[in-house]
């Protein structure tokens, strides 16, 4: 599961990894919750990569209202081809969500302790995602979801699930909307080991707590 994450320096750093054709005003959010606008990279029909804002929580094309998005901020890698909400997006509308790191909670001494999980080299996490365009009653909303998989052994003690993190080499293949070979995409949906983590302030459970103190390590 991935229910909170950070986009601070990641949006600018991702330009050093992926060739992006457009500009996007810097968005800094240290405590992103579902339904928030997030920066996503997707490939356009002309083959160029575009960085834009989408609502976090994928709204399927058939949904009658946007409430569905609260249940679809994550998509399980194991069932992407089965779920009506995700199977078309998996084939035609893949995206990458750059993140400085993400938060996960672990119960310790009967209390939920949040952890911040990030790349050991301070590079952005390239989270595998899907996006969709929802249109209804004159409204048009682009939304996205983060794909999760079974956690790598080194962080299973925190949570059994984690986002799918792509490598720099895997990113172009994931974004290629002309690449519809499901076996090649399936091969990318696995856990990445070697991430770092530390305990952070439990106040991040409140989305209003939103500054660089969110990611600072605390004792424990």
Predicted pLDDT of residue 173: 92
Q: Indicate the DSSP class of residue 32.
A: E
In 3-state terms, what secondary structure has residue 199? strand
Predicted pLDDT of residue 71: 84
pTM: 0.95
User: How many whole angstroms separate alpha carbon 164 and alpha carbon 189?
Assistant: 6
> What is the share, in percent, of the chain residues with pLDDT greater than 70?
98
pLDDT in tens, 46-86: 999 999 999 999 999 998 888 777 789 999 999 999 999 99
Predicted pLDDT of residue 181: 66
Domains and CATH numbers, the chain: 4-215 (3.90.1680.10)
Please give the helix or strand (H or E) that residue 89 lies within, else none. Answer: helix 87-92
pLDDT in tens, 170-197: 999 999 977 666 678 899 999 888 899 9
User: Does residue 21 surpass a pLDDT of 90?
Assistant: yes
Query: Band of the pLDDT at 1, cuts 50, 70, 90?
Result: confident
104 catalytic per annotation: yes
Active-site option among 40, 95, 104, 214: 104
**Structure tokens given for 152:** 């790598």
78 catalytic per annotation: no
């Amino acid at each position: 599961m991935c229910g909170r994450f950070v986009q601070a320096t990641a949006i600018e750093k991702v330009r050093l990894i992926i060739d992006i054709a457009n500009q996007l005003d810097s968005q800094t959010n240290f405590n992103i919750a579902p339904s928030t606008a997030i920066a996503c990279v997707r490939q356009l029909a002309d083959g160029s990569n575009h960085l834009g804002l989408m609502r976090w929580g994928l709204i399927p094309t058939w949904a009658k209202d946007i409430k569905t998005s609260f249940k679809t901020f994550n998509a399980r890698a194991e069932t992407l081809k089965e779920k009506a909400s995700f199977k078309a997006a998996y084939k035609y509308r893949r995206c990458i969500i750059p993140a400085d790191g993400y938060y996960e909670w672990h119960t310790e001494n009967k209390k939920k302790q949040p952890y911040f999980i990030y790349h050991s080299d301070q590079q952005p996490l390239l989270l595998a995602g899907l996006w969709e365009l929802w249109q209804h009653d004159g409204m048009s909303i682009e939304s996205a979801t983060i794909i999760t998989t079974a956690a790598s052994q080194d962080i299973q003690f925190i949570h059994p699930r984690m986002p799918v993190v792509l490598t720099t080499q895997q990113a172009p293949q994931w974004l290629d909307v002309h690449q519809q070979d499901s076996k090649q995409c399936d091969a990318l949906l696995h856990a990445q080991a070697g991430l770092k983590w530390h305990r952070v302030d439990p106040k991040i459970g409140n989305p209003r707590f939103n500054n660089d103190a969110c990611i600072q390590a605390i004792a424990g």
